[in-house]
């Protein structure tokens, strides 16, 4: 869900004779698969629209030749997808732009059909068109999602179609960008080499982490060709002036190698970034984070509405879990623990009890066996956890009572993990920004590995959410939470 470094494509026009054939072939194969999937989905959608509107017997007494209209609609839809550049490799496989383009292509087609039908006074059934367009749009998005997930799994295994990246910049910035890209291999950027300033180049082979240094700033195009890179990612460096960067773009023209610029700005979501050309400079304008206002009020209303509905629907399950906890071990069913919420205010978070009643007293004997870094205590086989508690933690069912905290306005459905007062007491200035928003039942940490994450990565994800939250992102995180719970990854 996060993008720690902004990669801004600066592709040059010209033939792609220099693009490595293996990468280009894999990319084209993926695009062909998408084209076949789109065609199949649209054919099914149009058939569903026809049968849904007219039944198996077809339209009675209609002069409209649907045997021509249906293929024409299919062709026009494919042309609209192509016109909206839904097969552009720069948006495939990562980010939300691919989905936005698919939806936009369908909406524009619907608008065009409506205008053309009104002008030409053609009596094509609106029910047929409405069903076809609705089913087709949802089907296209679902097919793209399935194809992307398969691509991500392949990339995680080191297979699949990925760009081979040559990173250029100072050693510290190169290492930071390499770490970011390695952290999210499913993004499709695989670093194969690095170029560093001439003054830092040694006469013997060098490596930055596991990335070989293949040249200096004097021979970037030659280094890219030598290692088969199809993308040059330029990060910060005092020697890479605007003039040298512009000349590098000229040198890469016609080679099929993309030039992308990774600015030092990190952990800022796309909607907050706007590029404005001023005096020939592509200035990046960054909007301030939004911590109050109408959108915050809407978020609160949505949180409480969903929490109320969820509590009513899950009431039978809550009763069963409560009985299981009571029969399993001595102690209260619901455990109330003091946590720190928005603005540093303490509140009692509700959870089904998953540990023995004297768990806090036993913690001192287990501190040396802590399996995580940072300020949290996590232990995969914690002896304080009860039998029922282990199952509840595996499926995150112990957190269901927190829906009451959401109803009370103390928590949100999505947000940073609610910290303990002892953790907050040791926060520095940066980490304390987690307290600018309400803590959540789930969040980026939940869908990204939970207890398997390091303290540093967990904080990075929480701060990213604080700075870049949106209602759309909240819905995406809630959707991903179901998958994370089913996989029970990092749950202990």
Domain ranges (residues) in the chain: 22-157, 163-266, 294-487
Q: What is the CATH number of domain 163-266?
A: 3.40.50
- The C-alpha angle with vertex 96 and arms to 95 and 97, in degrees rounded to 5, equals 100
Report, as an integer, the average pLDDT of 452-477.
82
Report, as an integer, the average pLDDT of 381-388.
81
Q: What does the pLDDT read at residue 192?
A: 93
On the question of pLDDT at 392 being above 60, the answer is yes
Q: How many CB atoms are located within 10 Å of the residue 123 CB?
A: 10
Q: What does the pLDDT read at residue 45?
A: 95
- Tell me how far apart the alpha carbons of residues 453 and 374 are, in angstroms, rounded to a whole number: 11
- Count Cβ neighbours within 10 Å for each residue of 301-323 and write b for 16 or more, e otherwise: ebbbeebeebbeeeeeebeebbe
With bands split at pLDDT 50, 70 and 90, how would you rate the model's confidence at 8? Answer: very low
For the stretch 303-357, pLDDT in tens is 999 999 999 999 999 999 999 999 988 889 998 989 999 989 999 999 999 888 7
On the question of pLDDT at 450 being above 80, the answer is no
For the stretch 69-100, pLDDT in tens is 899 999 999 999 999 999 988 888 887 889 99
* Percent above pLDDT 90 for the chain: 36
With bands split at pLDDT 50, 70 and 90, how would you rate the model's confidence at 267? Answer: low
- Tell me how far apart the alpha carbons of residues 316 and 203 are, in angstroms, rounded to a whole number: 71
Q: What does the pLDDT read at residue 400?
A: 93
- Tell me how far apart the alpha carbons of residues 432 and 343 are, in angstroms, rounded to a whole number: 9
For the stretch 174-207, pLDDT in tens is 998 898 888 888 888 899 999 999 878 778 888 8
- Tell me how far apart the alpha carbons of residues 30 and 148 are, in angstroms, rounded to a whole number: 10
Q: What does the pLDDT read at residue 148?
A: 92
With bands split at pLDDT 50, 70 and 90, how would you rate the model's confidence at 378? Answer: low
Which of 11-20, 273-282, 357-366 bottoms out in mean pLDDT, i.e. has the lowest? 11-20
Mean pLDDT of the chain: 83
Terminal CA-CA length for the chain:
23
Report, as an integer, the average pLDDT of 221-238.
89
Q: What does the pLDDT read at residue 283?
A: 75
With bands split at pLDDT 50, 70 and 90, how would you rate the model's confidence at 489? Answer: low
Sign (positive or negative) of CA dihedral 121, 123, 124, 130: positive
Structure tokens at 6: 């902004």
**N residues, the chain:** 492
**pTM, full prediction:** 0.69
* Percent above pLDDT 70 for the chain: 85
With bands split at pLDDT 50, 70 and 90, how would you rate the model's confidence at 9? Answer: very low
With bands split at pLDDT 50, 70 and 90, how would you rate the model's confidence at 446? Answer: confident
């Amino acid at each position: 869900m996060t993008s720690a470094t902004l990669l801004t494509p600066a592709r040059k026009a010209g033939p792609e004779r220099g693009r490595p054939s293996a990468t280009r072939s894999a990319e084209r194969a993926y695009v062909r698969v998408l084209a076949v999937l789109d065609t199949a989905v649209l054919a099914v959608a149009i058939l569903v629209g026809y049968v849904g509107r007219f039944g198996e017997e077809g339209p009675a007494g209609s002069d409209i030749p649907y045997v021509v209209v249906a293929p024409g609609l299919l062709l026009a839809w494919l042309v609209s997808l192509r016109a909206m550049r839904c097969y552009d490799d720069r948006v495939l496989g990562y980010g939300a732009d691919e989905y936005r383009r698919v939806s936009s292509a369908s909406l524009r087609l619907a608008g065009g059909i409506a205008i053309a039908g009104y002008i030409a006074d053609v009596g094509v059934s609106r029910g047929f068109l409405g069903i076809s367009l609705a089913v087709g749009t949802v089907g296209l998005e679902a097919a793209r999602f399935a194809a992307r997930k398969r691509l991500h799994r392949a990339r995680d295994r080191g297979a699949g179609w990925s760009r081979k990246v040559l990173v250029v910049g100072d050693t510290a910035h190169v290492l930071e960008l390499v770490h970011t890209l390695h952290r999210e291999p499913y993004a499709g950027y695989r670093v194969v080499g690095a170029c560093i300033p001439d003054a830092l180049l040694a006469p013997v082979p060098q490596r930055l982490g596991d990335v070989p240094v293949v040249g200096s700033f004097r021979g970037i195009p030659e280094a890219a060709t030598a290692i088969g890179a199809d993308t040059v990612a330029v990060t910060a460096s005092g020697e890479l002036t605007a003039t040298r960067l512009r000349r590098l773009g000229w040198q890469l023209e016609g080679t099929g190698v993309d030039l992308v610029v990774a600015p030092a700005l990190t952990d800022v979501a796309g909607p907050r970034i706007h590029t404005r050309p001023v005096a020939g400079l592509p200035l990046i304008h960054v909007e301030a984070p939004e911590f109050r206002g109408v959108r915050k009020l809407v978020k609160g209303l949505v949180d409480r509405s969903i929490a109320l509905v969820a509590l009513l629907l899950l009431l039978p399950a809550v009763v069963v879990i409560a009985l299981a906890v009571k029969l399993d071990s001595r102690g209260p069913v619901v455990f109330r623990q003091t946590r720190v919420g928005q603005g540093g205010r303490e509140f009692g978070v509700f959870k089904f009890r998953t540990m023995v009643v004297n768990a806090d007293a036993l913690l001192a004997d287990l501190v040396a066996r802590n399996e995580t870094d940072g300020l949290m205590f996590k232990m995969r086989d914690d002896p304080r956890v009860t039998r029922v508690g282990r199952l509840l933690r595996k499926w995150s069912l112990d957190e269901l009572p927190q829906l009451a905290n959401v109803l009370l306005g103390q928590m949100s459905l999505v947000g940073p993990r609610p910290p303990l007062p002892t953790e907050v007491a040791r926060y520095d200035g940066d980490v304390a920004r987690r307290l600018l928003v309400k803590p959540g039942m789930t969040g980026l940490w939940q869908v990204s590995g939970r207890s398997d994450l390091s303290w540093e990565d967990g904080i990075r994800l929480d701060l990213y959410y604080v700075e870049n939250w949106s209602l759309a992102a909240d819905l995406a995180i809630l959707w991903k939470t179901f998958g994370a719970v089913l996989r029970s990854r990092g749950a202990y």
